[in-house]
Structure 1
Amino acid sequence: MKIRKIIYAKTFDGMPKESDFKIVEEDLGDQLNENEFFYKSLWVSCDPYLRAYAGSYTVGKTCIPGYQLSKVVKSRNAKYPVGSLLVMQSGWRNGGKSDGSDVWYVRNDIPGNVPLSAGFGIFGMTGLTAFYGVDSILKPKAGETIVVSAAAGGIGTVVGQIGKILGCRVIGSCGSEEKIKFVKSIGFDDAFNYKTESVDDALKRLAPNGVDCYFDNVGGDFTFGVLSHMNQRGRVAICGAISLYNAKESDKRVPQLHGLMISKSLLLQGFNTPSDVNPQADKIYATLRKWTEEGKLKQYEYVTQGFDNIPKTFIEMLQGKNIGKTTVKL
């Protein structure tokens, strides 16, 4: 079995370029050992965290460690028979051989009212991350105000929908008027364009009584702007910092952050999806599936096609050209 995979070819210097990636072939042979299986990749996910951890990649060797939705095509593993749909973190590749160690979830029961790519969207890392951040860290009460940065992205769209299901007022931050219209169309109470209006002005206008919860996907100046509008004992779920991933200098404003946390008695908590979320994955998945079947939660995605287009799609996502979860159909 011959497959193609995308490796890290050159160290990123700021925003990645297509030339920083390389497609290579790998021959896996035709034989399976006991408990191994061959799989075919159906969908590949492009996520901001892949840029954040680029410093740990080995140039010329590391296969970009993105998520896939794959189908088992040949198996000697009873746990993963032929036809199984698997969410895997085995890298950007169009197929492979596995012993199951890179399998995150089995998703054979994806409801018919969502695309298969929901397996790594609302029913995968995206949905699980959004739910955990809201339910376990923000713990919002009905009537409270939630601000969501990168609101039109994969995680932001799910956080906003969950906030509305829980009876909260949800305000989104977006980078274009098109995205503002989009998030309002999926239930956000309001939104603003951070490129044309300052965070301070926007929240004075949209959240005059302050912000109770903030789901942070961007970090940097934006986050400091929101923190100054937090109410006493506000809660912040720190999920990502996409505004800093391509920066060449680190942010050194820790003393300012400490001052805001102390004066407002804020809770700021970061979390890691594999270690924090996976122990609760089955319980979370059951809730997400129920809401989806009831029509309360939907998968929104930015889809491109073709294995060769993965690097380009990844870069477009980092540039903010996507709406919803960024996926590539193979």
Structure 2
Amino acid sequence: MAPVINGRLLFNQLPNGLPEPGKTTVYDTCETIDLETAPLNGGILVKTLVLSIDPYLRGRMRDPSIKSYAPPFLPSQPLDNYGVGLVLRSERSSFKQGDHIYGRLPFQQYIVMPAAAAEQYTVLNNDTGLPWTAYVGICGMPGQTAHHGWREFSKVKAGETVFVTSAAGPVGATVIQIAKADGLKVIASAGSDEKVAFIKSLGADVAFNYKTENTREVLAREGPIDVYWDGVGGETFEAAIGAASVGARFIECGMITAYNGGEPYYVKNLLYIVGKQLRISGFIVTSLHQAHLSHFYETFPKLVKEGKIKYKEDVTKGLEHAGHVIVDVLTGRNKGKSVILVGEE
């Protein structure tokens, strides 16, 4: 077989504010690969099928000297994130041709994975027959974030009230459904009337557009809140503190208002954390895998297949469009879990 183009999305330069496709990220088609003869050296050859686009990718577009929980992207190297790939060839006994694997994949069409690196990937069973895109969304890292964080930190009792932000996103939308199954009243916010309609369809008792309704007024009317699921931070975090009941649990999984620079919002009522005896828990999903991942895979794909947990996807075909989709996610223009369809089986 003649060599084929191996398209890649490269990290080109540090952004100032929002990333700019063509500057921050560049789609490159200079590399080729012969799929039949490329040496594997004991590893595996993988074709990328789908890649996830998530807000936290912005935090990895930083100077390497700045420390964080996720490693920075390196100049002139492909971005990477959670994805699903198809094993085309294998020299590892733990993988066979035709296996589908899940884990962090570089943003490129084909990857030769060294033996040691290959072992970090999970072979997906998918006996429910869900589309592979689901395994980077509701049955992947976003779904795991909702599942793990809720099980670990919510400590709920039926009849309590939860406030969910970024509620139309893949994490928030899943939290709504978990909370309703646990018997909670759900207050949820999103940034457009279309998204508000979506979160209402998931069962939110109170759904509002934070751009046209005042969050503090809604919480004053519908609260107090016993659990706060935070994906935005800033002024909304401050409003949640003000509306919290004594002993409320704050689950901090993201702060998108701080991702793109600009003047930070300084929360003015932090003293209430003491007086209200709030429990504030920040977490990274991978730190909770040992306690909760087995339960997730045992239960979530089945619930999704049965329609007991619903989800919405925003699928874009073509790796060359990934830079634009990252911006869409950071500005809220996506209308579901953003996924890049890189290749067909």
Q: TM-score w.r.t. structure 1 length? A: 0.92
1:77-107, Cα deviation, whole Å (9 max, x unpaired): 1212111111121222222111363644322
Which of residues 4, 17, 22 is equivalent to 2:20?
Answer: 17
Give yes or no for the alignment of 1:183 onto 2:191: no
Which of residues 38, 55, 61 is equivalent to 1:54?
Answer: 61
1:256 Cα deviation after fit: 3.7
1:150-205, Cα deviation, whole Å (9 max, x unpaired): 00011111111111121211111100111111111122222111111121111123
Letter aligned with residue 294 of structure 2: D
Letter aligned with residue 322 of structure 2: I
Aligned to 1:303: 315
Please list, as runs of the form range in 1=range in 2, the aligned pairs for 1:93-104 lying within 5 A after superposition.
Answer: 93-98=108-113, 99=115, 101=117, 103-104=120-121
Which of residues 216, 220, 225 is equivalent to 1:200?
Answer: 216
Aligned to 1:276: 288
Letter aligned with residue 322 of structure 1: N
Aligned to 1:289: 301
> How large is the Cα RMSD of the aligned pairs?
1.9
Aligned to 1:120: 136
Letter aligned with residue 95 of structure 1: Y
Give yes or no for the alignment of 1:160 onto 2:180: no
Unaligned runs of 5+ residues in structure 1 are none
1:27 Cα deviation after fit: 4.6
Please list, as runs of the form range in 1=range in 2, the aligned pairs for 1:185-264 lying within 5 A after superposition.
Answer: 185-207=201-223, 210-253=224-267, 256-257=269-270, 259-264=271-276
Separation in 2, partners of 1:175, 1:268: 25
Query: Bigger shift: 68-77 or 21-30?
Result: 21-30
Separation in 2, partners of 1:40, 1:146: 41
Query: Bigger shift: 221-230 or 296-305?
Result: 296-305
Question: Contact 1:7–1:21 at 8 Å: present in 2 too?
Answer: yes
Q: Against the structure 1 CA distance between its residues 110 and 238, is the aligned structure 2 distance closer, same or farther, given a 3 Å change threshold?
A: farther
Letter aligned with residue 307 of structure 2: G
Aligned to 1:77: 92
Please list, as runs of the form range in 1=range in 2, the aligned pairs for 1:34-49 lying within 5 A after superposition.
Answer: 34=42, 36-49=43-56
Question: Contact 1:146–1:212 at 8 Å: present in 2 too?
Answer: yes
Question: Contact 1:123–1:288 at 8 Å: present in 2 too?
Answer: yes
Which of residues 65, 70, 88 is equivalent to 2:80?
Answer: 65
Q: Against the structure 1 CA distance between its residues 110 and 154, is the aligned structure 2 distance closer, same or farther, given a 3 Å change threshold?
A: farther
Secondary structure, counterpart of 1:89 in structure 2: strand
Unaligned runs of 5+ residues in structure 2 are 65-71
Identity %: 31
Question: Contact 1:110–1:118 at 8 Å: present in 2 too?
Answer: no
